[in-house]
């Protein structure tokens, strides 16, 4: 708690930016990881479909 | 003495490496054609793109130079990250240039140039992109190895072997799965890297404290440590130079633009850019804080001894890994090293692939008289990636870095960043741009940084203190390059962009005039 108060009182611009960076990593990263996993599944599914189509054409 | 436990931490790192390798190799079956290999069949969606771009743009080398910036310049050292985030958000939000690039269907930037400026410009652009890119990434492996040696307390004689093993591992999955492997492994690396960065930053803040960080910067750098405009070595030229470099990076840096080109469509690409923008602030602020923490707690003599061990003039690069080796406990050390290896592997794989794609598509491509089959194209792409891996290995082993790492990366990057960004803007928005202007711009853009680097290497001048006396360290007079001393890296960089723009305009107008006559 002392660190957070220090960050907001001593050179608060950099303190606030550091808090924002840590908050970003704690939240957005989790969200991106969750959604990114689904993107991988979708990407591989689409590529597999594409390959199947190609095989049928052959 | 480091806290790295080979049994506990080594196991964590080993498991991580194994999972990454398996994931990277498993997706090779989805690679059926060259487009799958270079741009993942253009099937990449927003969140995978954000994870991949954030992971690629953060390697051990990034952590090292951003921490070095924190150590030597305080909080003001993080300014390049803010410039990068602004540039990426603005380009992503507006779609400036990149939308036209993606919509053209090109797989690389030079491919778009051929449509407007002809085959020769495409080939020449490919050559300078590869030249600048390879020189840039040439130092990655060595710096990565140095981090591991200092942080894990690994014996220096194993440095080359560790670097080789890591590079071979990365090369294997990149050669097999191309961009698909890069995206999937980038995703895993993004997750591991994020956990590591967070854990270590909370630890540093807890052990050192914000108050100590601020006081250290105040004591060592004064107000300049917080405000780049009043810093004695930075100033407006530093901010402008970084803004220009970062705009050019966002528009034409192979690893960035390859993500945009791998996106499903230009709208997805723009979302990837805007969504990733803030990560660029993170990648400078987090290691920057580690660097400041090192300044607060590591004795300069200790660092000088480590620098001597590697034969490097500037020991500030080793401050952050040494600090981490001292404060991160066993168990957590495994997470840190896995995170750093994750960061490095994602960077290396992406760099090898994206620069390889330029060699295949734009340097060899224009000489192909008939279209190659996908099988032959894939074989060539894999062969080129392997060759780049070999280059990285040998260049990384013998090249010794002198001075600030970020300035080296910026100068080598400028060899192509200045000309390619001006060419892309002219190609997209200036109807009178033509091949004369493009060729002049490429030559000027490559020549100026190479001349500056050569002068710096050949002509050395003594570094003077405030009283005008030569500084002597360890019995030797401290020297620096002539161009760096008399002109400054930032002015060389800004000057290159200005001269390239003039060359583009003058060259294009000369051709228009000669055709009219």
CATH of the domain at B300: 1.20.1730.10
| Rounded Cα distance, B87 and B267, in Å | 17
| Choice between B229 and B395, residue whose per-residue pLDDT is larger | B229
Domain extent, residue B247, equals 8-21+44-405
Of the pLDDT bands very low, low, confident and very high (cuts 50, 70, 90), residue B123 is: very high
Task: Using an 8 Å CB-CB cutoff, list chain A residues near B202.
Answer: 22
Give the per-residue SS3 of B152-196: HCCCHHHHHHHHHHHHHHHHHHHHHHHHHHHHHHHHHHHHHHHHH
| Rounded Cα distance, B229 and B234, in Å | 7
Of the pLDDT bands very low, low, confident and very high (cuts 50, 70, 90), residue A58 is: low
| Rounded Cα distance, B98 and B388, in Å | 27
Smallest Cα distance from B480 to chain A, Å:
32
| Choice between B361 and B289, residue whose per-residue pLDDT is larger | B289
Locate the domains of chain A by residue range.
2-57
Q: In this structure, is residue B188 part of a structural domain?
A: yes
User: Is residue B91 within 8 Å of B251, Cβ to Cβ?
Assistant: yes
What's the total number of domains in chain B?
A: 1
Smallest Cα distance from A18 to chain B, Å:
7
A15 touches B: beta carbon within 8 Å: yes
Q: In this structure, is residue B411 part of a structural domain?
A: no
Cross-chain Cβ contact B40/A28 below 8 Å: no
Smallest Cα distance from A39 to chain B, Å:
6
Check residue B472 and give its pLDDT: 76
Angle, alpha carbons A47-A51-A52 (nearest 5°): 115
Check residue A47 and give its pLDDT: 83
pLDDT, one tens digit per residue, over B394-446 is 877 666 656 666 677 777 788 889 999 999 999 999 989 999 999 999 999 98
Cross-chain Cβ contact B46/A51 below 8 Å: no
| Rounded Cα distance, B80 and B493, in Å | 14
Cross-chain Cβ contact B282/A26 below 8 Å: no
Residue among B36, B51, B184 with most chain A CBs within 10 A, to mutate: B51
pLDDT, one tens digit per residue, over B3-26 is 677 777 778 878 878 887 787 788
| Rounded Cα distance, A3 and B490, in Å | 36
Burial zone of B311 (CB within 10 Å; 0-12 exposed, 13-18 middle, 19+ buried): exposed
Cross-chain Cβ contact B194/A50 below 8 Å: no
A22 touches B: beta carbon within 8 Å: yes
| Closest chain A residue by Cα to residue B206 | A3
Cross-chain Cβ contact A39/B289 below 8 Å: no
Mean pLDDT of all residues in A13-42: 89
Biggest distance spanned by C-alpha atoms of chain A: 69
Task: Using an 8 Å CB-CB cutoff, list chain A residues near B214.
Answer: 6, 10-11
Check residue B89 and give its pLDDT: 96
User: Is residue B228 within 8 Å of B234, Cβ to Cβ?
Assistant: yes
A58 touches B: beta carbon within 8 Å: no
Q: In this structure, is residue B493 part of a structural domain?
A: no
User: Is residue B336 within 8 Å of B200, Cβ to Cβ?
Assistant: yes
Task: Please report the ipTM that was assigned to this predicted complex.
Answer: 0.85
pLDDT, one tens digit per residue, over B486-497 is 888 889 889 999
| Rounded Cα distance, B502 and B494, in Å | 13
| Closest chain A residue by Cα to residue B37 | A47
Q: Are strands B472-473 and B479-481 parallel, antiparallel or unpaired?
A: unpaired
Check residue A25 and give its pLDDT: 85
DSSP characters for B246-285? Answer: HHHHHHH-HHHHHHHHHBSSHHHHHHHHHHHHHHHHHHHH
Task: Using an 8 Å CB-CB cutoff, list chain A residues near B46.
Answer: 35, 39
| Choice between B86 and B339, residue whose per-residue pLDDT is larger | B86
Flag whether the pTM goes above 0.95: no
Top-ranked range on mean pLDDT: pick from B50-59, B126-135, B306-315:
B126-135
């Amino acid at each position: 708690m002392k660190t957070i108060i220090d960050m907001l009182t001593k050179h608060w611009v950099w303190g606030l930016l550091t808090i924002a960076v840590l908050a970003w990593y704690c939240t957005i990263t989790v969200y991106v990881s969750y959604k990114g996993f689904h993107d991988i599944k979708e990407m591989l599914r689409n590529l597999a479909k594409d390959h199947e189509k190609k095989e049928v054409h052959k | 003495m480091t806290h790295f436990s080979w049994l506990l931490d080594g196991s964590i790192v080993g498991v991580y490496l194994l999972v990454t390798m398996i994931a990277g190799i498993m997706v090779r079956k989805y690679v059926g054609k060259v487009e799958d290999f270079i741009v993942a069949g253009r099937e990449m969606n927003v969140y995978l793109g954000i994870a991949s771009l954030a992971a690629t743009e953060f390697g051990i080398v990034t952590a090292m130079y951003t921490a070095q910036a924190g150590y030597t310049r305080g909080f003001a050292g993080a300014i390049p990250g803010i410039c990068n985030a602004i540039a990426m958000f603005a380009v992503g939000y507006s779609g400036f240039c990149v939308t036209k690039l993606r919509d053209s269907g090109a797989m690389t930037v030079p491919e778009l140039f051929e449509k407007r400026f002809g085959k020769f410009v495409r080939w020449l652009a490919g050559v300078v992109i590869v030249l600048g890119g390879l020189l840039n990434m040439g130092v990655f492996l060595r710096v990565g190895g140095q981090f591991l040696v200092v942080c894990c307390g690994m014996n220096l004689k194993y440095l080359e072997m560790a670097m080789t093993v890591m590079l071979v591992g990365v090369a294997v999955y990149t050669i097999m799965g191309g961009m698909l492997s890069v995206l999937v492994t980038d995703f895993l690396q993004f997750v591991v890297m994020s956990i590591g960065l967070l854990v270590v930053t909370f630890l540093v803040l807890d052990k050192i404290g914000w108050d100590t960080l601020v006081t250290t910067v105040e004591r060592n750098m004064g107000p300049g440590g917080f405000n780049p405009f009043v810093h004695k070595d930075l100033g407006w030229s530093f901010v402008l130079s970084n803004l220009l470099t970062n705009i050019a990076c966002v528009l034409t840096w192979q690893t960035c633009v390859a993500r945009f080109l791998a996106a499903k469509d230009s709208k997805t690409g723009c979302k990837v850019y805007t969504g990733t923008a803030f990560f660029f602030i993170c990648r400078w602020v987090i290691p920057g804080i580690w660097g400041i923490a090192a300044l607060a707690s590591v004795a300069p003599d200790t660092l000088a001894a480590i620098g001597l061990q590697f034969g490097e003039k500037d020991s500030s690069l080793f401050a952050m890994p040494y600090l981490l080796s001292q404060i991160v406990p066993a168990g957590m050390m495994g997470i840190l090293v896995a995170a750093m290896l994750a960061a490095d592997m994602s960077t290396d794989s992406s760099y090898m692939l994206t620069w390889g794609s330029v060699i295949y598509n734009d340097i060899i491509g224009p000489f192909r008289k008939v279209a190659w089959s996908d099988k032959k194209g894939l074989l060539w792409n894999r062969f080129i990636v392997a060759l780049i891996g070999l280059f990285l290995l040998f260049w990384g082993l013998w090249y010794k870095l002198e001075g600030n790492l970020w300035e080296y990366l910026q100068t080598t990057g400028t060899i192509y960043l200045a000309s390619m960004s001006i060419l892309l803007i002219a190609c997209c928005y200036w109807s009178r741009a033509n091949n004369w202007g493009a060729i002049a711009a490429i030559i000027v853009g490559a020549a100026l940084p190479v001349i500056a680097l050569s002068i710096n290497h050949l002509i050395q001048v003594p570094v003077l203190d405030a009283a005008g006396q030569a500084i002597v360290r360890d019995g030797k007079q401290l020297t620096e390059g002539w161009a760096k001393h008399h002109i400054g890296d930032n002015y060389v960089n800004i000057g290159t962009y200005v001269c390239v723009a003039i060359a583009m305009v003058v060259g294009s107008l000369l051709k228009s005039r000669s055709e009219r006559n």
